[in-house]
Chains A and B, each alone.
Chain A
Amino acid sequence: MDRFIVLPLLIPLTTAILAMIAPGRVPRRWVVRTALTLNLAAALWIFATILRDNTVLVTNAGAWPAPYGITLAVDELSALMLTITAVLALGVGIFGDITIDITRERFGFLPILNFMLMGINLAFITGDIFNLYVAFEVMLTGSFGLLVLGDRDNQIKGGIKYMIINLMSSTIFLLAIGLTYGVLGTLNMAHLAERAADVESPGILTILAAMYLVGFSIKAAAVPFFFWLPASYHTPPAAVTAIFGGILTKVGIYGMLRVHVFIFPNEMQHLQWLWLLMAGATMLVGVTGALYQREIRRVFSFLIISHVGYIMMGIGFDSRVGLAAAIFYMAHHMIVKTALFMMAGILEGIHKAKDLHRMGGTVNRAPVLSVLFFIAAMALSGIPPLSGFFAKFALLSAAFSAEQYILGGISLIVSLLTIIAVYRVWHEGFWKPAVDHILDPFIEEIVLERLDNVQRRLIVAPSVVLVGLAIGMGLFANASYELADRIAGQLLDRTRYVDAVLGDYQEEFEAENTLPPTFQVGRE
């Protein structure tokens, strides 16, 4: 049964090919919608199996035994990320295939979306660190395609910044992988975790961990590597921004969880001051940028950065409480942010404007959308009883139990500033009276007039579901937090993952009464 964990790779791959050869717009849409539903079903099934059996699902590509071949392994964290990604992909898939313009769809919006989804899923499934690099590259290739698809001037300019910075981050990541192989002599994550634990923290592992930190924090858009994100995320259509804002930076966070928490747990004590400094600066810089911006999607782009800071802060406490809070926060953030970006797209379509000053009066024109947006915005800024409140509460109690009072204070201030930024969007976009305005010259909005009634309901439906999830996470906060705590516990307890991946290998060496060949780290 374990080999079914390749389904989240096979389904998007097949879909992408089918979507390329599909005859016409309507069949293509239905192929992709069906496939994304299947992908969600597969992810839920994997998650349910893991939670029920309390196990790690492992399969080895080409039946090469670990640690020699490429291992695919799914534990609780991977399964959670797979499931959230599948939910978001289905929502954005439906939102995207309706709202995207015909040119972009003809030039392959849906196939590229599925290729990118395959890369993201591979990043979560793989148990081999070089394979994680390959997954990042597959994901990046897809995201480059989506970012410049449509060929508008702003997209090309944003695309160059996005591309160069992300290529550099991948190269640094690859450099770190090469050095890791030189030092520890393996690439399998479980094997790495085992060997890194034996090495009593010599300087070389700290340098490696720092290199991974640079690579991943460029991907996650943490200060001081965040400039590419606000320069590019507002240029493509709303559907693309929604999937980017929800998932891509969080794949970088997932890399941190895998490498810094799982493989190099001992290095966190050396990097902690740097880590927490980056987290605090990321929170502050992100929210300050959001306060300054006037375009709705730019505001939310900066708020992504701010929330990456929160998640990094939770990881940086180097405790189970902090980790659980970070995982809870990440899940909440992915769901709410995607919903907000989709609704921002619809809002731009209603007003034919990007600038908040040119919007207004939406409460009367689109009451359902306004209520949804209000709930999502309140969830983002952390008002009880929604998911954001409990996520921030968990992080704050982790900060105080780690005796990081300054950082806890900063997170409270940032929380307050987030409310101001989000309230500004709500007031300007929805609450104030409608304003007459000249049309934005460079806007490329969703043309709502072309949609029939069913389609108009369908593009709001994903936001309804996601906002429902955010409310659910708040109402059942105890159960959600317990799940996050369980995931954090499993991530910190390496033995189960290591045994599941390397069980046969260890038995083989124990049977011959010899120890696995350990690698001597280059130290006198």
Chain B
Amino acid sequence: MNFVLALTVGVLFGVSTYFLLKRSVVKLLLGVLMLSYGTELLIFMMGDLSERNMPILELGEEPFADPIPQALILTAIVIGFGFTAFTLMLAYRFYFDLRTEDLDQMVEETEVHG
């Protein structure tokens, strides 16, 4: 199981690197998303995968699963969600201005010197 997850994390990082090197704004966004998914999955693996009970003390059955990685992932997902929304808005605004999603068309307006 660990091997499969490790492979998935590796594939996610690879795909995200590929997307991040693309010129399109949308692919850039996908790249950042993949990167954060890979990271979240990796944190999930840090919780030591095995069959354990829910981390609720009242059930009183040991051993418990480690609740910390779950809390971390949840926080990371929420933060990532907010940033995705913001990036989408920026990307839309970018397209609205330039009528293209190609980042190479992004030339900063500088004045004519002289």
Contact = CB atoms under 8 A, between A and B. Distances in A.
Main secondary structure of the interface of B (DSSP, over half): helix
Interface in B51-107: 68-69, 72, 75-76, 79, 82-83, 86-87, 90-91, 93-94, 97, 103, 106
B91 to A, nearest CB: 8
Contacts of A269: none
B106 A157 contact: yes
Given A171-B36, A181-B72, A141 B82 contact: yes
- Which of B69, B79, B82, B106 has the largest count of A CB atoms less than 10 A from its CB? B79
Interface string A135-170: 001000100100010010110111110011001100
Contacts of A357: 113
Given A130-B72, A168-B20, A144 B109 contact: no
B90 A178 contact: no
A137 B46 contact: no
B65 to A, nearest CB: 14
A355 B97 contact: no
A233 B4 CA distance: 43
A148 B111 contact: no
Contacts of A159: 90
Given A130-B72, A141-B82, A153-B109, A160 B46 contact: no
A504 interface: no
Interface in A313-370: 355, 357
Nearest to A158: B108
A507 interface: no
A156 B42 CA distance: 33
A174 B82 contact: no
Contacts of A156: 90, 93-94, 97
A441 B86 contact: no
Contacts of A440: 111
A179 B94 contact: no
Nearest to B83: A167
Contact of B43 (A148, A178, A231, A442): A178
B105 to A, nearest CB: 10
A187 interface: yes
Contacts, number: 83
B86 to A, nearest CB: 6
A477 B38 CA distance: 49
A495 to B, nearest CB: 26
Contacts of B106: 157, 160
A341 to B, nearest CB: 20
A208 to B, nearest CB: 12
Nearest to B9: A175
A159 B83 CA distance: 13
B42 A175 contact: yes
A105 to B, nearest CB: 21
B1 to A, nearest CB: 16
B82 A179 contact: no
Interface string B14-49: 000000100001001000100110010011011000
Contacts of A355: 111, 113
A218 B28 CA distance: 18
Contacts of B90: 148, 156, 159-160, 163
Nearest to B35: A171
B111 A163 contact: no
Contacts of B82: 141
Contacts of B32: 164, 167-168, 171
Contacts of A181: 43, 46, 68-69, 72
Contacts of A294: 113
Contacts of B79: 134, 137
A148 B89 CA distance: 11
Contacts of B42: 175, 178-179
A124 B72 CA distance: 20
A293 to B, nearest CB: 11
Contacts of A187: 68
B76 A442 contact: no
B98 to A, nearest CB: 9
Interface string A422-446: 0000000000000000001110000
B28 to A, nearest CB: 6
Contacts of A441: 111
Contacts of B91: 160
Contacts of B109: 153-154, 442
Interface in A264-295: 294
Given A174-B76, A181-B69, A355-B111, A168 B35 contact: yes
A134 B77 CA distance: 12
A182 interface: yes
Contacts of A168: 20, 32, 35
Contact of A164 (B28, B97, B108): B28
A175 B75 CA distance: 14
A345 to B, nearest CB: 18
Given A157-B94, A163-B87, 20 more contacts: A144-B86, A148-B90, A156-B94, A156-B97, A157-B106, A160-B91, A160-B103, A160-B106, A164-B32, A171-B36, A178-B39, A178-B46, A179-B42, A179-B46, A181-B43, A181-B46, A182-B45, A231-B108, A294-B113, A441-B111
23 contacts: A130-B75, A134-B75, A137-B79, A156-B94, A160-B90, A160-B91, A160-B103, A163-B86, A163-B90, A164-B28, A167-B32, A167-B83, A171-B35, A171-B36, A174-B39, A174-B76, A175-B39, A175-B42, A178-B42, A178-B72, A179-B42, A182-B46, A357-B113
Nearest first, the 6 closest Cβ-Cβ pairs linking A and B are A182-B46, A178-B43, A175-B39, A137-B79, A171-B35, A167-B32
